[in-house]
Amino acid sequence: MLDISSLSRSYDGTLVVDDVTFRVTPGRMTGFVGANGAGKTTTMRMILGVLAPTSGQVLWNGSPITTGQRRRIGYMPEERGLYPRMRVSDQLVFLARLHGVDRAEAARRARELLDHFDLGDRADDVLDTLSLGNQQRVQIAASLIHRPDALVLDEPFSGLDPVAVDAMASLLAKEAGDKPLLFSSHQLDLVERLCDDLVILSHGKVVAAGSVDELRGTGPDRYRVRLDGSDAAWIRGLRGIEVKDVDGGTALVDLDGITPSELLSQLVAKEPVAEFTRVRQPLSAIFREVNR
Ligand SMILES: Nc1ncnc2c1ncn2[C@@H]1O[C@H](COP(=O)(O)OP(=O)(O)OP(=O)(O)O)[C@@H](O)[C@H]1O
């Protein structure tokens, strides 16, 4: 269990991470989102210990994290940091060796990851001869090379095409298994699809955190209603709802003091109902709301 506890960081007296607290639960993918400059990278650097917090701490299984435990985190830094002129496999073996993995195991693990990532035939190529997307895959492989106990990945999916994103995401989920996995992203649709939990940062503060399901359920109690008839305008006259939109036989309504069954009863009393669906907020709406 990885806990970020009241972490703050200031630069020249300006707080850029402000009392940030959240949990990265093992076995659940946690997405870390926020506008440019919100403080995601700074927070991740403090988790890894490459940047000292002004105050607060990082806990591993309830106790302040040690240097040894930090070394067991797989980190993909924003600035990346592989050697462009080094062969792909040599690079992975080198990184594994830095983590204390013996040479034979490092070579085996590098081969295994490259095969998983469909890069087996590029193992002996120099990194910068690979496409940017494939270099990105190698970066992800590098964060996994020492079989880490947790993963902290800064924008791991940037630059990948949608098919590669899905492939990488399922490999990451498999590799992470029941370990904590935190990743930052600007791609909200992707975060919504992949993550179990979400932390939204705005101007250095956590403005929303929880399971994606919980967060999407926090908006208005909104329903889409499709009637058999061609004009749903009459529902504006019903009590206990606020009609947001009417388009032919379809209407979007927020409940305002009545239950869904009460609304449905009022509707069917007048006309057959072809569809009655709860509309959950997309993540993009929550994101806009908290960043206002
Ligand atoms: N070394 C530094 N010196 C001064 N200010 C810094 C330094 N590093 C980061 N900052 C500032 O801290 C704030 C947070 O930056 P950070 O990189 O953590 O945001 P971010 O959420 O990762 O942004 P992005 O999504 O654009 O990568 C920004 O205002 C940035 O300018």
Please spell the DSSP secondary structure of 184-227, one letter per residue: E-S-HHHHHHH-SEEEEEETTEEEEEEEHHHHHTTS--EEEEEE
Ligand 1, atom 16, lies closest to the CA of: 39
Task: Using CB atoms within 10 Å of the CB of residue 170, give its burial: 0 to 12 exposed, 13 to 18 middle, 19+ buried.
Answer: exposed
Q: How far is the CA of 285 from the centre of ligand 1 (A)?
A: 24
276/264 Cα distance (integer angstroms): 8
From 41, 182, 186, 203, mutation site for ligand 1 pocket: most ligand atoms within 8 A of C-beta: 41
Sequence-distant (≥ 6) Cβ neighbours of residue 147 within 8 angstroms = 109
Q: Measuring from atom 29 of ligand 1, which residue has the nearest CA?
A: 37
Mapping DSSP to helix (H, G, I), strand (E, B) and coil, where does residue 82 land? coil
Pair of tokens at residue 206: 């956590």
Residues 206/28, Cβ–Cβ less than 8 Å = no
ipTM value, please give it: 0.96
H-assigned helices in 8-102: 40-48, 67-71, 88-98
Which residue, 106, 140, 110, is CA-closest to 123? Answer: 110
220-249 burial, b at 16+ Cβ within 10 Å, e below that, comes to ebbbebbbeeeebeebeebeebebeebeeb
Quote the ligand 1 centre to 38 CA distance (angstroms).
7
Are 87 and 95 spatial neighbours (Cβ–Cβ below 8 Å)?
no
Q: Ligand 1: which residue has its CA nearest to atom 24?
A: 36
The best mutation among 7, 33, 40 to test binding of ligand 1, ranked by most ligand atoms within 8 Å of the C-beta, falls on 40
Whose Cα sits closest to atom 18 in ligand 1?
Answer: 39
CB atoms within 10 A of CB 209: 18
User: Which residues does a 6 A CB cutoff place in the pocket of ligand 1?
Assistant: 11, 16, 34, 36-42
CA 204 to centroid of ligand 1, rounded, Å: 9
C-alpha 42 to ligand 1 mean position (Å): 6
- Please give the Cα distance from 125 to 31 (Å, whole number): 32
Query: In angstroms, what is the span from residue 37 Cα to ligand 1's centroid?
Result: 5
Distance 206 CA to ligand 1 centre (A): 15
Q: How far is the centre of ligand 1, averaged over its atoms, from the C-alpha of 281 (Å)?
A: 29
Mind listing the pLDDT tens digit of every residue in the chain (292 residues)?
Answer: 999 999 999 999 999 999 999 999 999 999 999 999 999 999 999 999 999 999 999 999 999 999 999 999 999 998 878 999 999 999 999 999 999 999 999 999 999 999 988 999 999 999 999 998 899 999 999 999 999 999 999 999 988 888 888 888 888 888 888 999 999 998 888 888 889 999 999 999 999 999 988 888 777 789 999 998 789 999 999 999 999 999 999 999 999 999 999 999 999 999 999 999 998 877 888 888 777 7
Give the nearest ligand 1 atom to 38 CA.
21
What's the 147 CA to ligand 1 centre distance in angstroms?
29
Work out the number of other CB atoms within 10 angstroms of the CB of residue 186: 14
Asked if 256 contacts 288 with a C-beta cutoff of 8 angstroms, the reply is no
The neighbour count for residue 6, using CB atoms within 10 Å, is 12
Measured from the Cα of 78, ligand 1's closest atom is: 27
Domain ranges of the chain: 2-72+149-214, 85-139, 219-291
Name which residue sits closest to atom 8 of ligand 1, judged by CA: 42
Pairwise CA distance, residues 92 & 272, whole Å: 63
Q: Among 38, 44, 46, 54, which residue's Cα sits nearest to residue 204?
A: 38
For the domain bounded by 219-291, which CATH number is listed? Answer: 3.30.70
Q: Summarize the chain as % helix, strand, coil (round to 5).
A: 35, 30, 30
Q: Which atom of ligand 1 is nearest to the CA of 204?
A: 14
Domain range 2-72+149-214, CATH class: alpha beta
Length of the chain: 292
Largest CA distance in the chain: 75
- Expressed in angstroms and rounded, the spacing between residue 153 Cα and the centre of ligand 1 is 16
DSSP state of 65: P
Radius of gyration of the chain (CA): 24
Measured distance CA(274)–CA(221) in Å, rounded: 19
What does the alpha-carbon distance between residue 90 and residue 88 come to, in Å, rounded to a whole number?
6
